[in-house]
Amino acid sequence: MNKPQVPDFLKNIRVVLARPSHPGNIGSAARAMKTMGLTRLCLVEPKVFPSEEANVLASGAVDVLENARVVATLAEALADVTVACALTSRRRELASPLLTPREATPELVARARDGEQVALVFGNETFGLSNEEVLLCNRLVTIPGNPDYFSLNLAMAVQVMTYELFSHTGFAVDYLKPEGEQATLAEVEGFCQHLEQTMDTLDFFRRRNGERLMRRMRGVFARADLQRDEVDILRGFLKQVNRALGPDNNGR
């Protein structure tokens, strides 16, 4: 199976970092974005940018940093955006309903797919977003977590939110799956009968409840979700057992 392409509409989703203090976090955020197929980064009044430290932490995502837009105000970063999600972990006296990333994401993906511009807005490492910044956004998103230790690093928050977005794109991971062929029910049943015959030949059912025993065995191999070549291996083994038992019991 070929490697699929990341959906094109992800370019309509930008990550906005408002007043980030630590250049390392900018680099880690760029890396986090790129692992989830996002490329558009916008920095509002970064303390230090560009920087060597950001480049080092961006690892293979330096292109995201090179193409980053630097602006003076959050309003500027959001001018062409229809939906801006403020990421916050504080309780706010604001009337927007507070959504989890999972609740917020389907709408964001649908809008980006329709060609609208969507922004994920993250605040400063220490202070988060100011109330003024939150009011420039029209969605409020909080990442669920331990209420006694909610110390999610900025880049970690970017990673979680972009992971959540990516997981709603319907982009399959099938290309990573091995290509083995699933055995059919008839093949599995053929093997089970072969097993039953072999057990019978060995007189294995004597003083045992053969019917119940075979029910359990059928359960085992049903749960095992056998592949075709695994059935072949198992039946090869049974054949060899039958052969070893001598010509009178030559099995199938």
Measured from the CB atom, the residue of 149 and 247 that comes closer to a second copy is: 149
Measured from the CB atom, the residue of 159 and 242 that comes closer to a second copy is: 159
Measured from the CB atom, the residue of 37 and 196 that comes closer to a second copy is: 37
Residue matched to tokens 């989703």: 13
Give min distance, CB of 11 to a second copy, in A: 13
Measured from the CB atom, the residue of 148 and 203 that comes closer to a second copy is: 148
Measured from the CB atom, the residue of 48 and 98 that comes closer to a second copy is: 98
Select from 137, 90, 135, 125 the least CA-distant residue to 19. Answer: 125
Select from 237, 87, 94 the least CA-distant residue to 165. Answer: 87
For the chain, helix (H) and strand (E) counts, in that order, are 10, 7
Give min distance, CB of 233 to a second copy, in A: 11
- In angstroms, the CA 74 to CA 137 distance is 10
Residues that bind a second copy (CB under 8 A): 3-4, 6, 28, 31-32, 34-37, 59-61, 89-95, 97-98, 100, 102, 142-153, 155-156, 159-160, 163, 166-167, 171, 173, 175-178, 180, 225, 227, 230
Which run of H or E residues covers position 32? helix 23-35
- 110 within 8 A of 7, measured Cβ to Cβ: no
Over the range 4-42, which residues count as b (16 or more CB within 10 Å of their CB) and which as e? eebeebbebbbbbbbbbebbbbbbbbbbbbbebbbbbbb
Give min distance, CB of 177 to a second copy, in A: 5
**Residue 18 three-state SS:** strand
Give min distance, CB of 206 to a second copy, in A: 34
Give min distance, CB of 245 to a second copy, in A: 29
Give min distance, CB of 158 to a second copy, in A: 9
- 59 within 8 A of 97, measured Cβ to Cβ: no
Measured from the CB atom, the residue of 12 and 142 that comes closer to a second copy is: 142
Using CB atoms within 10 Å of the CB of residue 209, give its burial: 0 to 12 exposed, 13 to 18 middle, 19+ buried: exposed
Measured from the CB atom, the residue of 12 and 28 that comes closer to a second copy is: 28
Give min distance, CB of 44 to a second copy, in A: 23
| β-bridge partners, 14 | 40, 119
Select from 132, 120, 188, 155 the least CA-distant residue to 31. Answer: 155
